[in-house]
Structure 1
Amino acid sequence: MDHVSAPSLLAPGIAVLRADNPSEMTLEGTNSYLLFNPGQTLAPQLPVIVIDPGPELEEHLQALALYDVQLVLITHRHLDHTAGIDRLHELTGAPVRARLEQFCRNAEVFTDREEINGAGITVSVEFTPGHTSDSVCFVRRGTEEHLFTGDTVLGRGTTILDHPDGTLSDYLASLQRLLSLPDMPLHPAHGGQHEHSHPLLNAYLAHREDRLDQVRSALEKLGKAGAHVHPADLLELVYPDLDPRLAGAASRSLEAQLHYLSRTD
């Protein structure tokens, strides 16, 4: 396991193991979280729940399998979160749960706001579509609650909306839903950790409103209505300093914004 470090302890009962799959989309890599009884010490064979096995990287999956994985939870369908499902299931025999049946192994799909018990802890499920239609977040219940956001909220920057599967109206509603929860530490699937969820969620909402205003201004400059413009026409106006590697992701987000404006403005 030359490229994988040991999990880093974030708080009692929470550790993170980052996969070695850095990119412009995954930032430093995909964060796999290990949840366990806060009264116990993280050590091999400790019962844990894993959030997102990550990509199919043998070193990363072998490192997760050092623990007694009792359950695997999936935040959404993208391969950097799901490609390791079958190998981790093979290594550990742990059931896998997701919102979509195709990613479940020996277990049922999630129901919204259900509570899951395992490894000495309770985790609740929050359906948060927008990034994708199947995106979910998790809250580890207890004296100190923690929020795990997948790609709905990142450690830095903003997430893409994988339109048409993900929609802006769903995404805005999901951010508001997370804001209705108590403020708590926030743990994203990519990037660093946040001590408080509410400031970041409010910043995400403000960013989306600003971006919509930018799209409206760009449409005015072009003299076009949202229903009659292609995202490529707006890229340079809305994202003037865009990394070319992110053009596809930005185009999908623009599609989502144009779709939203066509229905609301």
Structure 2
Amino acid sequence: MSGHVTGAVAALAGELPAWVSLLRAPNPGPMTLDGTNTWVLRAPDAEHAVVVDPGPADEGHLKRIAEHGPIGLILITHGHADHTEGAARLRELVGAPVLAADPAHTIGGTPLSVETTLDETLDIRLLNTPGHTADSVCFLVECGDERVVLTGDTILGRGTTVVAHPDGHLGDYLNSLELLSAYTGIAALPGHGPALADCAAAAEFYLAHRRARLDQVRSAVDAGARTPADVVAAVYADVDRSLWWAAEWSVRAQLEYLGVDTGESAPGVSGLEHM
């Protein structure tokens, strides 16, 4: 959900490092932008590659990933289906374990934790970045003197992301953006959209955007908005109404963060996990 922001939120990256390949899944849409980004990482002279986010269960896409084999490890940034649906089939094709923070999306290995040794040829560090979802993680990857941060949906290459309430949590998301704002001058490789030159700059933009949104929500509530739908109509009036259902997730997260009791039961997430 890009809200009022539809362009890149920081300067685009130039050429990707030679050890990074991008394979974009054929699932474009309003929530997935140009499609899900599957990243393939292989250190120079390494036998096995690492795949991050296999994407949807599209056989052609998964076979293209497998052609970059041998693959030793499949990593998941978060559990939404546009990132994970193809994981089990990719494991069948290449034989690699699938590791995610959520055990439900882990196949043939142990769920991710900060103690996990992720790869012997690349220096991959797990960053716990909940907020978009409770299980969202990023990966700081170093190869020689080059570093990148794979951000999943925590930072997108274009527009801004939803906080998928009630699984997502705005307070956690703000903390995660604060963490990512420390990675100055390091390219961000997102789950959707183009690569960005500076992870920290993108995180700072997102923080400013979220704080501005909170001010808008406060103003809407002060003006009499009483339900999440009321707030969406006031704050997201210039957004295509077909996306208001996604905006309402973020609004519910904002209202919860502000301690506003709407008197409604929060609905479960339904939609984005199937994108």
Give the TM-score taking structure 2 as reference length.
0.85
Q: How many pairs were matched up?
A: 244
1:118-157 equivalence runs, <5 A: 118=120, 120-142=121-143, 143-157=145-159
CA-CA distance at 1:115 after TM superposition: 4.4
Q: 1:200 to 1:113 in 2, by over 3 A?
A: farther
Higher relative contact order (CA 8 A, sep 6+): 2
Structure 1 match to 2:27: 21
**Structure 1 segments of 4+ aligned residues over 3 angstroms from their partners:** none
Structure 2 match to 1:199: 201
Read off the aligned partner of 1:20 and give its amino acid letter: P
CA-CA distance at 1:117 after TM superposition: 1.6
Does structure 1 residue 254 correspond to structure 2 residue 259?
Answer: no
Q: Which of 233, 250, 257 matches 2:230?
A: 233
Read off the aligned partner of 1:21 and give its amino acid letter: N
Does structure 1 residue 211 correspond to structure 2 residue 213?
Answer: yes
Read off the aligned partner of 2:228 and give its amino acid letter: P
1:1-265 equivalence runs, <5 A: 10-37=16-43, 39-40=44-45, 47-66=48-67, 67-112=69-114, 114-118=116-120, 120-142=121-143, 143-222=145-224, 229-262=226-259
> Is residue 126–residue 139 contact of structure 2 (8 Å, CA) maintained in 1?
yes
Q: In angstroms, what is the RMSD of aligned CA positions?
A: 1.5
Distance in 2, Cα, partners of 1:114 & 1:205: 29
The Cα offsets for residues 172-193 of structure 1, whole Å up to 9 and x where unpaired, read as 0000111234430111000011
CA-CA distance at 1:211 after TM superposition: 0.2
Secondary structure of the 1:160 match is coil
Identity %: 43
Structure 1 match to 2:269: none
Distance in 1, Cα, partners of 2:132 & 2:57: 22
> Is residue 13–residue 40 contact of structure 1 (8 Å, CA) maintained in 2?
no
> Is residue 184–residue 201 contact of structure 2 (8 Å, CA) maintained in 1?
no
Q: 1:50 to 1:212 in 2, by over 3 A?
A: same
CA-CA distance at 1:114 after TM superposition: 4.4
CA-CA distance at 1:40 after TM superposition: 4.3
The Cα offsets for residues 114-167 of structure 1, whole Å up to 9 and x where unpaired, read as 44224x212110110000000000011231110000000000110001101111
Q: 1:179 to 1:130 in 2, by over 3 A?
A: same
Distance in 2, Cα, partners of 1:108 & 1:195: 32
The Cα offsets for residues 229-257 of structure 1, whole Å up to 9 and x where unpaired, read as 31101112101111122111100000000
Q: 1:125 to 1:113 in 2, by over 3 A?
A: farther
Distance in 1, Cα, partners of 2:17 & 2:82: 25
> Is residue 128–residue 136 contact of structure 2 (8 Å, CA) maintained in 1?
yes
Give the TM-score taking structure 1 as reference length.
0.88
> Is residue 17–residue 146 contact of structure 2 (8 Å, CA) maintained in 1?
no
Out of 180-189 and 159-168, give the one that drifted further.
Answer: 180-189
Structure 2 match to 1:3: none
Distance in 2, Cα, partners of 1:250 & 1:113: 35
Q: Which runs of 5+ in 1 are unaligned?
A: 1-8
